Structure 1
Amino acid sequence: MRVTRYRDGMNTHEPQAKNPERQAAMFSRIARHYDLINDLASLGRDRTWRRTVTDELERACHGLDGREILDVACGTGASSRALANRGAAVTGCDISPGMLDIARREESEDRRGARTPIRYECHDAQRLPFADRRFDAVTISYGLRNMPDPRATLADMRRVCRAGGPIIVLDFDTPNNPVWRAIYERYRAIVLPALGDLFGGNGDAYRYLDVSIDAWAGRNGVAAMLRETGWHDVAYRTLSGSIASICRARA
């Protein structure tokens, strides 16, 4: 049986100067093919990673049935649907109207049985319009590195999470092995812009995604930011040779 090991993270990550309006417009342009982008950038592991996030939250919450979960930067709703299909009452928020249009369409087409419908709302994750301690748990997948101020996002997510509630952060990371890192970075640098040119001439947007992954501080940076914003019991695990990582903590 494989044992999952978490390690404490160190280091810091400086806020990145990014414009929310530009981000919203860019992600709306690429929304139709965003799930395909994640599949290819993750070497086909994206769906497995999302199931892992759902499993982590289910364990941390001692079951998801009826739990109020906030899915920040929910995009096209893949992560929100995975949680709702386990019985959670999910609110998904994103800054991109184009992403949310697809999420709502997918929800109307794919809803399973009588489960609680997902609520999708358009909000800036750095200024969430929810009451303090509103949710049992919070999560964000692939979104934190795109925030103008990731710390502000984590701080507001903590504000709306009940005391002791868990947070799970999924994002791309940097492999430790230098050979594997070089191969993966080269693959990503070629494939993502090529996808942009193939699907609607959005090569610049896809190049941005590649650069944002390359510049991201990864698990060490996320762990440090979680501590700085008041989360505790911070730990992480790497996925698929460290091309991604999951960080977890409690409010």
Structure 2
Amino acid sequence: MHTQKAALKDPAQQSTMFARIARHYDLINDLASLGRDRAWRRVVADELERGCHGLADRMILDVACGTGASSRALASRGALVTGCDISAGMLDIARRRESERGSGARPSIRYERCDAQRLPFPDHRFDAVTTSYGLRNMPDPIAVLAGMRRVCRPGGIIVVLDFDTPDNPAWRMLYERYRTIMLPMLGNLFGGNGDAYRYLDDSIDAWPGRAGVAAMLRKTGWHDVAYRTLSGAIASICRARA
């Protein structure tokens, strides 16, 4: 089991796995979050908007952007968003949805395929950086946060959204039971990818949560680190400044 989990942390393996589940990924996130995923993404946009004193014309890097849900939430507020992900399948969905929107008031989103551990952007390129549900799946999250620090301008901010573990024992037990049963079942129902969703469930269990992310942010040179829980601590956001 540990060997299998380690293999799924390999960038090539992850690219393949996420390509298989790309079509239904947003729906599964909605269900796994008990319908709160979209509200959480709005919280991320709110945090970035406050930290940047407005998002209009701000250059934002969305790391591990997946199908572009988080990128679209930021672009809808006028941000100039670059979304990057290692999965070509995920980016295909993101680009298709971007093309389907037609002409509109919001800026277009630029999508690039890359390994988040080796971001191909110049130093201090972005006004802010963010990642939603992505850091937990990285083989080396420290390298990712260090790279995000490098490409963020001095004084810019980072916001990290991910699943977490509730502090209340009864609520934690109920949520973990729901997640353990529902994620693989939904994965099998939508495309026969139960194994991929079992991996995602395991990755949430193994993740150190908000305290762990805060420690990693400090270790990689971010300061003014803070966090808050969401929906009874089944998720959290961490924020900091470069």
TM-score interval, smaller chain: over 0.9
Residue of structure 2 equivalent to 1:202: 193
Q: Which one scores higher on RCO, CA 8 angstroms, separation ≥ 6? A: 1
Once residues 138 and 42 of structure 2 are traced to their aligned partners in structure 1, the CA distance between those partners, rounded to angstroms, is: 24
Against the structure 1 CA distance between its residues 161 and 111, is the aligned structure 2 distance closer, same or farther, given a 3 Å change threshold?
Answer: farther
Deviation for aligned residue 1:114:
3.2
Amino acid at match of 1:211: D
Residue of structure 1 equivalent to 2:51: 60
Deviations 1:81-132 (A, max 9, x none): 0100100000000000000000001111125623221000000000000000
Query: Cα RMSD between the aligned structures?
Result: 1.0
Once residues 216 and 41 of structure 1 are traced to their aligned partners in structure 2, the CA distance between those partners, rounded to angstroms, is: 16
Once residues 115 and 181 of structure 1 are traced to their aligned partners in structure 2, the CA distance between those partners, rounded to angstroms, is: 39
Q: Percent identity?
A: 80
Contact 1:223 1:247 in 2 (8 A): yes
> Are 1:218 and 2:179 matched, yes or no?
no
Contact 1:234 1:248 in 2 (8 A): yes
Q: Which stretches of structure 1, 4 residues or more, deviate above 2 A after TM superposition?
A: none
Residue of structure 2 equivalent to 1:109: 100
Aligned length: 236
Amino acid at match of 1:26: M
Residue of structure 2 equivalent to 1:99: 90
Residue of structure 1 equivalent to 2:148: 157
> Are 1:131 and 2:117 matched, yes or no?
no
Once residues 103 and 211 of structure 2 are traced to their aligned partners in structure 1, the CA distance between those partners, rounded to angstroms, is: 37
Amino acid at match of 2:86: I
Deviation for aligned residue 1:194:
0.3
Once residues 208 and 127 of structure 2 are traced to their aligned partners in structure 1, the CA distance between those partners, rounded to angstroms, is: 27
Once residues 195 and 89 of structure 1 are traced to their aligned partners in structure 2, the CA distance between those partners, rounded to angstroms, is: 34
Query: Tell me, which stretches of 5 or more residues in structure 2 are unaligned?
Result: none
Query: Quick check: 192-201 or 139-148, which moved more?
Result: 192-201
Deviation for aligned residue 1:133:
0.2
Contact 1:133 1:161 in 2 (8 A): yes
Amino acid at match of 1:207: R
Deviations 1:167-193 (A, max 9, x none): 000000000000000000000001000
> Are 1:237 and 2:228 matched, yes or no?
yes
Once residues 192 and 159 of structure 2 are traced to their aligned partners in structure 1, the CA distance between those partners, rounded to angstroms, is: 34
Residue of structure 2 equivalent to 1:189: 180
Residue of structure 2 equivalent to 1:75: 66
Residue of structure 1 equivalent to 2:11: 20
Contact 1:85 1:112 in 2 (8 A): no
Query: 1:20-59 maps to which residues of 2 (within 5 A)?
Result: 20-59=11-50
Once residues 113 and 20 of structure 1 are traced to their aligned partners in structure 2, the CA distance between those partners, rounded to angstroms, is: 35
Question: Which secondary structure state, in structure 2, belongs to the residue aligned with residue 164 of structure 1?
Answer: strand
Deviation for aligned residue 1:31:
0.2
Contact 1:111 1:117 in 2 (8 A): no
Q: Report the TM-score when normalising by structure 1.
A: 0.92
Amino acid at match of 2:238: C
Question: Which secondary structure state, in structure 1, belongs to the residue aligned with residue 149 of structure 2?
Answer: helix
Question: Which secondary structure state, in structure 2, belongs to the residue aligned with residue 129 of structure 1?
Answer: coil
> Are 1:146 and 2:137 matched, yes or no?
yes
Amino acid at match of 1:176: D
Contact 1:167 1:250 in 2 (8 A): yes
Question: Which secondary structure state, in structure 1, belongs to the residue aligned with residue 131 of structure 2?
Answer: strand
Residue of structure 2 equivalent to 1:247: 238
Residue of structure 2 equivalent to 1:178: 169
Query: Tell me, which stretches of 5 or more residues in structure 1 are unaligned?
Result: 1-15
Once residues 204 and 220 of structure 2 are traced to their aligned partners in structure 1, the CA distance between those partners, rounded to angstroms, is: 22
